A and B are shown apart, each in its own frame.
Chain A
Amino acid sequence: MRSGGGCRYVLVLCVRQLRVGLSPSGRHSHEAVHDPHLVQPPLQDTRDDLSQAILTGARGHPSRGLGPAHRLSLVKAICETQPVTMPHPPRIGGRPSSIVTTDRNMHLDSEQESVLHGESGQALALALKTLIRYGEVFGARRLVPISSAHLVGSFGIVFFKGCFDVLERLADEGARFKVKTTVNPRPGREYSIINRLTFFKQRRLDATLERLGVTPNYSCACYEGGNRPAPGDRLAWAESSAVQYANSVIGARSNANSLGIDFFSAVTGWAPEFGYLLDENRRGQVFVRLQIDRMDACALGFVLGKKVVDRVPVIEPYDFTPGDLKLLGAGLACAGRVSMFHVVGLTPEAPDLRTVFQGPPAETIVITQEEIDALRSPHPNQADLVVFGCPHLTLDEAASLCERFVGKRVRRPAWVCMIPEHLERFRGTKLYDAASQAGVEMKSWCPLACLSARFGFRRVLAGSSKLFYYLRGSEYGTTDDCLRACGVNR
């Protein structure tokens, strides 16, 4: 039944893609350049010209471009979630977006003024205008220079046409990334036919990004390779787990920017100053006590994220490893909306309780062993596929994982997703060969994007709470659970 429906769906997709490929209206990629609605009026006053544009053009223009709305369809949601369990109504106050003011005064320096007036090209002027509009809503007073950027828009999903149009227009007009800019993983386009259709635009997107001068790391763990900021650096990063790590573990400063804002910051080299770029929003808000005997940082992050939602948690002293902190942050960022946490005595901005809170903590919560255990799958041994590495593993992390497989044979398929550059270094080592012989598959793509549109592998056992949260039909297992499911633990 199920697979019959699936086949029909694939067929429909194929026919649709063919049609798109053959018909003249199927030329999606150059519309940005030729679209008359993209031709901008001369830039005089930002606000006047905006409202003018909205009054005249907002509703009137035909929606060419995306073609049949139906192209939305090609995607199995990459972002499908588990049931929403945010508190209702949501908590207000404390997060960056709550420090909004109604006055709209963004002060620009002379260089920014000249870019805004189109002296570096129209596309760059529009990019800056977007940042100004965006920053003003959150009460930003100025644009500050950034030292690096990290982009999320690495999936060539056919639906995100607006994003590709804008990127291509920037590249066509000669804009280049002003600062070091890394990018999220590729989606694993080559994995299956359905993925080839879904990520139809992948190659074009890769080429555009490379024209813009991206550092092609293709990994969400950019801080482990290619783009490690220094403490205090201002960044315009977008991947939530990376932002979390940069803010909390490294002590750099970034907001979790959404798609679009990240590359506008990268091409202009500026970011609006609000949220986690400012001291007052980086202080702790909730004190977290742990009643945990068997630590599982990944599950702890997830449970904590659901509880604190958008307040900055401060965890009592505990000796987490760097790998633990990475997983803890990833869990926190997906289950909640917070982009920063502290561990007293461990993370750079929390030397002691007094400093991190600037006064006594307003609230204390306790996380117990039962709560984090409740997240574990009750039937890890029924999984069809076991996935490690979300966010991407480093060479060291992958090596210590792979050692467990040496001389054994996996009971079910197991994937280890790791940073592409580290995977290259890993290849050719004895351990790599031994792990491959045991049946472990090393990948460099994003398991979430790749598996979202899967057929088969109905039950995925994820060794990461982030993958568990986003991937439909997945269950969470601790590293030990996952190894046991592979048949190699003890």
Chain B
Amino acid sequence: MTTIRGRSIGSGRGSGTAVVTRMPINFAASYITPMNAFFPSRMWDRHHELYRTDLKGKVLVMANCVGSTYSGIVLQGLIRLRIAPAAIVTQDADPFIVSGLVISEVWFHGGLPIVEYRGDDLFERIRTGDRVDVDADSGELTIHPASS
């Protein structure tokens, strides 16, 4: 078990199995597809390595967001529908992810634990399958490696 500390962006706590991707995520392309009619919590970006992965209840460990300025509203929709990841650890809290979170918090009372960890060692420390506890109030990430 290791603990690392990042910067708190959202608030609250969340834990779950880590899904790690170095590829930037385009929320708009991932969640606004016809397939989301049947599997709304899966991401359906054909160009992404997480294609078809169900992120609900997982801890998403990602680099940053790319794509449309609509991304924030998509994230807000996910939080409101309660199909968002349990927590997000991002290397870069960019305007897309922050705007979605803030609109959700202020207007819809739906927060999400989001922690920014800028170090490049993020992807060595957390691997897909590890169990991660995210405490977004203190910015603390507790990692329980899957192998041990």
Contacts and interface: CB of A to CB of B under 8 A. Distances in A.
Interface residues of B, number: 64
Contact of B69 (A58, A92, A152): A152
A79 B98 contact: no
B121 to A, nearest CB: 11
B98 A134 contact: yes
Contact of B95 (A54, A92, A157, A257): A257
A160 B81 CA distance: 12
B109 A258 contact: no
Contacts of B36: 69-70, 72-73
Interface in A114-169: 126, 129-130, 133-134, 137-138, 152-153, 157, 159-163, 165-166
A308 interface: no
Contacts of B109: 37, 53-54, 56-58, 61
B127 interface: no
A400 interface: no
Interface in A187-245: 238-240
A76 B99 contact: no
A9 B102 CA distance: 35
A97 B95 contact: yes
Contacts of A50: 11, 105-106
Given A63-B82, A97-B95, A162 B77 contact: yes
Grouping DSSP codes into helix (H, G, I), strand (E, B) and loop, the A interface class, with mixed when no group exceeds half, is loop
Contacts of B40: 69-70, 72
Interface residues of A, number: 68
B110 A58 contact: yes
B64 A90 contact: yes
A88 B23 contact: yes
A7 interface: no
Contact of A130 (B12, B28, B91, B103): B103
B60 to A, nearest CB: 15
A314 B5 CA distance: 37
A260 B103 contact: yes
A337 interface: yes
A50 B26 CA distance: 28
A37 B23 CA distance: 35
Instruction: Among B67, B91, B107, find the residue whose CB has the most chain A CB atoms closer than 10 A.
Output: B107
Nearest to B98: A137
Interface in A231-268: 238-240, 255-261
A258 B72 contact: yes
Interface string B5-26: 0010101100000000011101
A80 B93 CA distance: 22
Chain B interface secondary structure, helix, strand, loop or mixed? loop
Interface in B86-106: 91-96, 98-100, 102-106
A403 B67 CA distance: 35
B47 A259 contact: no
Given A58-B111, A81-B67, A153-B70, 20 more contacts: A58-B109, A59-B82, A61-B110, A69-B36, A72-B31, A77-B33, A81-B29, A84-B26, A86-B24, A88-B24, A90-B24, A90-B63, A90-B64, A92-B92, A100-B7, A157-B32, A159-B77, A162-B77, A256-B69, A258-B100
A79 B106 contact: no
Contacts of A138: 95, 98
Interface-centre pick from A98, A100, A257, A259 (highest chain B CB count, 10 A): A259
Contact of B70 (A83, A102, A259, A337): A259
A58 B12 contact: yes
Contact of B29 (A58, A79, A160): A79
B29 A166 contact: no
Contacts of A77: 28-29, 32-33
Contacts of B92: 90, 92, 97-98
Nearest to B47: A83
A37 B73 CA distance: 18
B99 A259 contact: yes
A51 B77 CA distance: 20
B117 to A, nearest CB: 11
Contacts of A487: none
27 contacts: A53-B111, A56-B109, A69-B36, A69-B40, A72-B40, A76-B33, A76-B34, A78-B68, A79-B29, A81-B26, A84-B23, A84-B47, A84-B48, A88-B22, A90-B63, A90-B91, A90-B92, A126-B107, A130-B103, A130-B106, A153-B73, A162-B76, A162-B107, A257-B69, A258-B70, A258-B72, A259-B72
A89 B22 contact: yes
A100 to B, nearest CB: 7
A73 B105 contact: no
A134 B99 contact: yes
Contacts of A165: 107
Contacts of A66: 77, 80-81
Contacts of B137: 51
Contacts of A80: 29, 33, 46
Interface in A37-72: 37-38, 50-51, 53-59, 61, 63, 65-66, 69-70, 72
Contacts of A157: 32
B15 to A, nearest CB: 13
